[in-house]
Structure formats: structure tokens, C-alpha cells
Amino acid sequence: MIGFFRQGQTLVCDGVPLADLADAHGTPLYVYSAATIVSRYRAIDEAFAAYPHTIHYALKANSTLAIARLLRSLGSGADANSGGEIDVALRAGFIPPQIVFTGVGKTAAELAPAIELGVRTINAESAGELERIDALARERQTRARIAVRVNPDIDAKSHPHISTGLKTNKFGIPIDQVRELCARARRSEGLEIAGLHSHVGSQITDLAPLARAAAALVQLARELREDGTRIEHLDLGGGLGVSYNGSPVPDASAYAEAVLPVVRASGLSLILEPGRQIIAPAGVLLTRVVDVKEQSADKRFVVMDAGMTELIRPMLYDAYHRIEPVVQSSAPAVACDVVGPLCETSDTLGRGWRIRLRDGLELQSPAPAGGGARRGRPRRRHSPPPDDRRTAGARRLTPPMTDDGCRMTGLLIAFEGLDQSGKQTQAEILTAVLQERGRVCHLLSFPDYETAIGQEIHRGLHGGRDYDAAVMQLLYIANRYEKRPRIEQWLRDGAVIICDRYAASSVAYGEAQGLDPAWLEDAQRFLPKAHLTILLDISPETAAGRKAAGRDRYERDLVLLSRVRQSYRRQAQAAGWLQLNGDRDKHAVAADILTAFDSRLAPR
């Protein structure tokens, strides 16, 4: 069984008792079921399997990096609602063509990088935004791929605060203005129209408005094609609701059955942007009772250590979240309102509850809380945000942990390749991503010119000394041994050490100059071994092309560099390194590195 269920009296997540997580990590605490996220993503993907589609998980529902990474690993793209969310998507390993950028009020500071990155589409919200995108793209001598967000004037029959498809709402371009705007956009040098988008609301439990919105897009696409506009896809947004109180709601297959017949004849591929549907049932908020206040004969408050800052939905829309004890007891149930600690009367998690309070101090978990829990969370008294933990299968999580729920053990990762192959860039990206996941990382670059031996290497490279190849390689090796005590300590501490060049560089450059590779390997046998070596493979010509001036004695010699490349390839083959073509877009390379890291090294 996956997700949240009771084992005896105790609520568990994927088999892990929630009380243990609260003990280990404190409260308030968000806990997510990875298995539930996987199964809910797959349910949507399978429901639409018979039709060309891509799922772009709506990061606004929950942009926790580990969750974004999990969804990326399943094949999802990302729907980002701000520059910050694009940043999260990139850090989670999505490449720009896997990101759509949606949202009212995109600033130039957000649009410009999105255009430069080449995201899949920017879902344009207004005539003004189309003009701004056009100008920014022309300045950059490029075309931005856009989808026009259409406001179809459809009532989603959801809560008014989360209905977005009526003409009285601020979202999208009124449907009757779209043809005219597209005609203008077709003539704009900075725009390439790729699709139509609509999102009529969230927590929609009646499929009819979703089917009507799809039909409106199909009809509009037909008219636009007649006008000469090329439309490649329809983006149906998100919106499908979930059950918070156990009442029946349509599932992903019912949704597919409602919209696919409407869309099929158009032949246009679909983008879906589910958020809540995937994440809401996958998370709970664990919170502890701090106080019980008998205010009057008929008013009792149970004060928790979490409130609207951790779960904003009850306060925003009077939303219902089930509240239940983590460990059930037979104590008498008492009537109460469940409130948070903030100086706001609206800081309420639930009204009119009957709760069993064993000792007056117990854990409660409002569920489901996965989506929207973190949305719009203001800081409470400058307190740090609550910690995130998610369970992985039935594994018990004990610190120290990454935010993936991975136990921290030391890792050494080496980037190898010719100069200009992107080693430094990729080492920095990986460091940033892993730090974001909560790992302690140390980035090292060899040779380290700061040390005495490093300065000798510098002289040898730039003509101050006339060392032969063997002496130079011994210096490089000694330079690494200088760092050995520190590397070993970091590994014991569970840190990740990321090296721009490591032992294999000496083997490659030494072998290329006629030295015995076995000797060079042997001389380094007491250095800590790399757990993963990544070869960024580029040709010597590419290397030379990327750095025209200021090359050292190795960088100038293309014949030598092609022998270095051969040695690298031989070593990579023999030792099963990750070999990547370093000519590609840096984000694509970074995504492959992260995938390899996750599959080969995590959990460690």
C-alpha cells in the first residue's frame, strides 16, 4: 500500500510512521509520499496515452526541488509561473524546451532570460505582453515561441477565488480579440506562434467546463489556421480537482474521456499542466498541539504550532482539510476550532472539529495538504520555513539527510575533458543543484595554483621552468596529494567533493606525451577514488575555437590534444565513466549529469 494510511492506531506514509518523522525532524513538518506522486503522474500520462501529449507539472502547486526532480525523472516537463520557478525548474534538471512559462504580470527581467534560454513556449497573457516579448526577442535577434492564453469566458464552477476563465477574471486574452492579435503577431519579427493556451480554474470537479474550454480552443485553432496562423499545440492548463473530504471526484481517465473526443479531430498535440491533481493527495502537514484554550462555555481553541503560514488554503478560501491524530486514542472527543499561533483571527486550520486529545498535547495532520501548502506562504515572525521531508518507499528517514530523503555519505565526482569542454560550468551547476538539495559541497579545481607546488606548475606551464613531461605530471599528482587530507575529512563528514580535473587528467596528458599510463595511475593509488567521473568530450578544434588567445603550452598543440582525447576515451570505456558530448547546450548536458548522478549515486 502506498500513501497515507493507518497501521493499527498509527498513521504512516509509505510505511513510515509519521510520529517517527515528527520526532526526528520536529514540527511543523511537510511529509510527501513519493510513491503517490509517481502513481498520480502515471495515471494522467496513461489516461492520455493514446493521444500525443506532454505533461508539464505546474510548479506553483508545490515547487519543492526534490518533488520537481522526481517528476522530471518520470518524464514530466515543468509549467513555471515566475522567473523564480524557471530557476527551480533548471535547478531540478529540466532543460528549457521542457519548460512553459505562464502567468499574469511577467516582468521584462523574467521574460528576457526565458527568451534567451529558449523555453518551449511563453504563454502570453495580453496584447501588451505580446508587444514586450516581441521587442525583447528582436533586441536579441531571435524569435520567441509563444502560445496565446485565451480567456474563453467559461465558468469553471469552482471557488470564485480560483476561477480564472471568466471574462471578469484577470487572466488571458478575451477570446474575441485573439484572431486580431494573432494576425498582428504573425507580422512581428520577434514572435513565433506555437499554440493556444487556456486554464479556466482550479479544483474543478465538473468536467463540462473543462470540455467546453477545450472545444473553444479547438474552434479557435481552426479559425486561426484559416487565417494562416500555424498552431502546433493546445495547452489545456490544469484544474482537475481532488477530494478533500472523501466525496467522489472525476479521475484522470474521466478527464481524458471528456476532452479527447473534443480535441482528436484537430490533430493538435496537447500540453497538460496538472498541479493539485498530482501533488495534493501526496502530502500532509504534521503539526503539534501547543495549547488548549477554553475561551467560554461553548468555545474551545486547540492551538497548533502551524497555521496559515504553513497551510494557507483554509484562511484563503475557507478550504476544508481533514484533521486527524497521528496516533489514534480512545480519549473523549472534544469540540474545538483548530488554530495557528499567528496574531490573526483568520489563522485557522479548521472550525467545528471534534478531536481526541489524549494528554492535551498531540500531533495532528491536516490532510491532504500537498498542493497549496507552500503556496503564498508569508514568513511568520521571521521564522525559518518548516523542513521538507519525503519518504522513499518504506525507508525510515534519519538524519543527516538530503531533501531527497537520501542518507549523506561522502562522494567524490570528477569532471574530465579538454580545456574549454565546460568542466568548470558543469561542476558549478552540479554544485549549486546539490547544495540546493541540502548537501554540503566542496568545489575543487586542479591544478590548485595557490599551493607551493601549484606555483611550480604555473612556472612549468608558462616558460619559467623547463620541466619534462614526467616532472610536470609528478607535480600535478603531488598537487592532488596536497589536498588529500582535506578531501578525506570532507568525505568522512558526508560532503560531496566536485573536482574540475582529478587523477585521470595526469593519465590522459601524460599518456599523450608518451608516459606509461599504468605508472601514472599507480602513483595516484593512495588518492581517494572518484565515485563518478564525467568526461565532457569535445574535439581539439572545438577547444581551440572556444579559446583563441592566452593558451598554455598544452592548449596550443592540437596533435597532443587529440592524443589526450584518445586517452580519455580509452579510460572512460575501461572504467565505465559517464561520457557526454560537450558540444551540446549546457542545460542539456547538466540534465544528463543530474540524471546520471541520481541513477548511479543516489541514494547514498
The CA distance from 281 to 553, in Å, is: 60
**Rule CB under 6 A: is residue 273 a binding residue for ligand PLP?**
yes
Edge-to-edge order in the sheet of strand 16-17: 4-7, 10-13, 16-17
CA-based max dimension of the chain: 93
Residue 10, C-alpha cell as written in the block: 498509527
Cβ closer to ligand PLP: 94 or 568?
A: 94
The kind and range of the H/E element at 57 are: strand 53-58
Residue 422, C-alpha cell as written in the block: 565546460
**Rule CB under 6 A: is residue 151 a binding residue for ligand PLP?**
no
In this structure, what DSSP letter does residue 244 have? S
Which among 13, 182, 336, 343 is annotated as catalytic? 343
For residue 407, the minimal CB distance to ligand PLP (Å) is 32
Catalytic site includes residue 336: no
One of 72, 120, 212, 276 touching ligand PLP (CB under 6 A): 276
**Quick one: which segment of 38-46, 53-61, 403-411, 433-441 binds ligand PLP (CB under 6 A)?**
53-61
Residue 593, C-alpha cell as written in the block: 549529469
One of 11, 40, 77, 79 touching ligand PLP (CB under 6 A): 79
For residue 102, the minimal CB distance to ligand PLP (Å) is 4
The kind and range of the H/E element at 124 are: strand 121-124
Residue 25, C-alpha cell as written in the block: 525532524
Is 123 within 8 Å of 147 (Cβ atoms)?
yes
One of 44, 58, 137, 185 touching ligand PLP (CB under 6 A): 58
For residue 279, the minimal CB distance to ligand PLP (Å) is 8
For residue 63, the minimal CB distance to ligand PLP (Å) is 12
Cβ closer to ligand PLP: 53 or 439?
A: 53
103: alpha, beta or left, given left = phi > 0 and alpha = psi -120 to 50? left
User: Helix or strand or coil: residue 258?
Assistant: helix
**Quick one: which segment of 252-260, 271-279, 344-352, 425-433 binds ligand PLP (CB under 6 A)?**
271-279
Residue 293, C-alpha cell as written in the block: 484554550
Cα-Cα-Cα-Cα torsion 138, 121, 200, 265, nearest 10 degrees, comes to 120
For residue 243, the minimal CB distance to ligand PLP (Å) is 14
The CA distance from 565 to 535, in Å, is: 10
Cβ closer to ligand PLP: 202 or 287?
A: 202
Cβ closer to ligand PLP: 102 or 479?
A: 102
Residues in the chain: 604
The kind and range of the H/E element at 541 are: helix 540-546
Residues 421-460 contacting ligand PLP, CB under 6 A:
none
Pairing type for strands 283-296 and 29-33 reads: antiparallel
Residues 199-258 contacting ligand PLP, CB under 6 A:
199, 202, 237-240
One of 152, 195, 275, 422 touching ligand PLP (CB under 6 A): 275
Residue 18, C-alpha cell as written in the block: 509519521
Residues 99-128 contacting ligand PLP, CB under 6 A:
102
**Quick one: which segment of 56-64, 212-220, 263-271, 460-468 binds ligand PLP (CB under 6 A)?**
56-64
**Rule CB under 6 A: is residue 274 a binding residue for ligand PLP?**
yes
The kind and range of the H/E element at 289 are: strand 283-296
Binding mask of the shown chain, residues 370 to 399, with x at each position contacting ligand PLP by CB under 6 A: -x----------------------------
Cβ closer to ligand PLP: 27 or 198?
A: 198
Cβ closer to ligand PLP: 124 or 357?
A: 124
For residue 206, the minimal CB distance to ligand PLP (Å) is 14
Cβ closer to ligand PLP: 123 or 188?
A: 123
Binding mask of the shown chain, residues 282 to 321, with x at each position contacting ligand PLP by CB under 6 A: ----------------------------------------
For residue 445, the minimal CB distance to ligand PLP (Å) is 42
The CA distance from 571 to 564, in Å, is: 11
One of 33, 277, 524, 567 touching ligand PLP (CB under 6 A): 277
The CA distance from 465 to 54, in Å, is: 59
Binding mask of the shown chain, residues 172 to 201, with x at each position contacting ligand PLP by CB under 6 A: ---------------------------x--
In the chain, % helix, strand, coil (3-state, to 5) comes to 40, 25, 40
One of 60, 120, 321, 565 touching ligand PLP (CB under 6 A): 60
User: 591: closest CA among 78, 53, 44, 34?
Assistant: 78
The CA distance from 191 to 136, in Å, is: 10
Number of residues that bind ligand PLP (CB under 6 A): 17
User: Helix or strand or coil: residue 334?
Assistant: strand
Edge-to-edge order in the sheet of strand 532-537: 441-445, 496-500, 411-416, 532-537, 578-581
Site for ligand PLP, rule CB under 6 A: 58, 60-61, 79, 102, 199, 202, 237-240, 273-277, 371
Q: What residues act catalytically?
A: 343
